Structure 1
Amino acid sequence: MLGWFSRDDTPVLTGKTLTLRAPRRSDYPAWQELRRSSRDFLKPYEPRWSEMDLNRRLYLSRIRRSAQEARAGTDYSFFIFTTIDGREQLVGGITLSNLRRRAAQFVNLGYWMGERFAGSGMMTEAVGVVVPFCFESLGLNRIHAAFLPDNMASRRVLEKNGFKEEGYAERYLQIDGRWADHVLFALTRERYDASRRMTGH
């Protein structure tokens, strides 16, 4: 079993107003409070979960697994923080999962935002921070993302970061206890590079 002080290969990524880093043991109270207070807001968009899923033991098990996955280079889990009144504030999370190498070179992007921070533009910034990590540090060719057809907030986040709609998948993921259709978006390395050339970055 991975020890608490073993290396975690998830990097720290910074944007204009946000910091993305691996979850830590000490983040548990803030995570539990944010997830609990946002449950009704998140429920229609996530796999079914209950109060039991917020307990400390499961949280610690998750961060151990996250560290192992980062070391293996298969998945990366980030918490998103901003600074409010001089203090670090957890606002949400981003995951890069199912990373594939060889002929594929892609990863799946997922994210969640606490209810009181939704609509603030922070998730658009956070995705914009993690995209260069995927292409420049991990050397991937594609980032995939999927969202429920009525989730216009997710559509805007992805479109603002250069993602394009590629298709529609019936009964794609189990959300809130039912198999749900999803809209499929992706961003390619070529489109990302072209955008950077246009903006002079």
Structure 2
Amino acid sequence: MLDMPFFRRPPPALKGQNIYLRMPMMRDFDEWAALREKSRFFLEPWEPRWAPDELSRSAFRYRLKRYRNEFEQGAGMAFFLFATAGDALVGGLTLSNIRRGVAQTGSIGYWMGEPYAGRGMMLDALRLVIPYAFEGLRLHRLEAACIPDNNRSVGLLEKAGFQREGLLKSYLRINGTWRDHYLYALVAEEHCVPVLKPRG
């Protein structure tokens, strides 16, 4: 029997000691909207400007549809992060813009609810996602971009083993303003993961 391509398999669930990650579902809407609203002023400086209907059920449904399409096309996947104790939603992480061929690269983005920031949960999440990306998805390189004065994000990426490669001028429009970003990257060899040949 031929092995099924990665993105035709069921969405992955990644489990650690303190957190677990799975693809968002419609039943998460109420908890997601409440956490995002509670964390609004904490998150807004680091994210694209929120739409007027940002926290609506219809916008969330559209978001899930986009996540599903990207997953099915092999372009990316989205995770919600849950605390193992109590099953509370604490944040989200995306692996997006996956490029195959000669690149074998993907981009990582993330957000953490304010009540759970500073507890090491996102670092735990990265330590689950990075091996999955390299070994499970057979990517060779992971990239992440962060605003230079986002000290939390800089520290997180460096603790996770990412190396700063340069400054991207006026890279993304964040909260209505074009902002410079540091580019960070991690390659499989640096993470002590065997380099696997792409399938296909």
Q: Do the two structures share a fold, i.e. TM-score over 0.5?
A: yes
Q: Quote the residue 1:156 is aligned against.
A: 155
The match for 1:126 is 125
Query: Aligned equivalents of 2:82 and 2:46: distance in 1?
Result: 21
Amino acid paired to 2:61: L
Aligned to 2:34: 33
Q: Distance in 1 between matches of 2:26 and 2:20?
A: 17
Bigger Cα displacement from structure 2, 48-57 vs 8-17: 8-17
Structure 1 residue 69: Cα displacement: 1.3
**More displaced stretch, 166-175 vs 61-70:** 61-70
Gap runs ≥5 in structure 1:
1-6, 196-201
Q: Does 1:67 align with 2:75?
A: no
CA contact (8 A) 1:10 1:77 kept: no
Identity of aligned residues (%): 45
Partner of 1:177: 176
Q: Supply the distance in 2 between the matched residues of 1:15 and 1:187 (Cα, whole angstroms).
A: 21
In structure 1, C-alpha distance between the alignment counterparts of 2:150 and 2:113, rounded to whole Å? 15
Q: Hey, what does 1:139 align to over in structure 2?
A: 138
TM-score (norm 2): 0.90
Off by >2 Å, runs of 4+ in structure 1: 7-10
The amino acid that maps onto 2:100 is: R
CA distance in 1 between counterparts of 2:64 and 2:121 reads: 23
In the alignment, the residues of structure 1 paired with residue 19 and residue 109 of structure 2 have an alpha-carbon distance, to the nearest angstrom, of 17
Contact 1:24 1:63 in 2 (8 A): yes
Task: Provide TM-score, normalisation by structure 1.
Answer: 0.89
Shift of 1:83: 3.2
Could you tell me whether the CA contact under 8 Å between 2:77 and 2:95 is conserved in 1? yes
Q: What is the distance in 1 between the residues matched to 2:193 and 2:121?
A: 24
Verify the 8 A CA contact 2:148 2:180 in the aligned structure 1.
Answer: yes
For 1:36 and 1:187, the matched residues in 2 are separated by 32
CA distance in 2, matches of 1:8, 1:65: 17
Q: Does residue 49 of the first structure (1) align with residue 50 of the second (2)?
A: yes
Question: Partner of 2:188 in structure 1?
Answer: 189
When the two chains are superposed, the root-mean-square deviation of aligned CA atoms in Å is 1.5
| Residues 48-75 of structure 1, C-alpha deviations (whole Å, 9 max, x = no match) | 0045111001101111221121121111
Separation in 2, partners of 1:194, 1:72: 25
Q: How many residues align?
A: 187
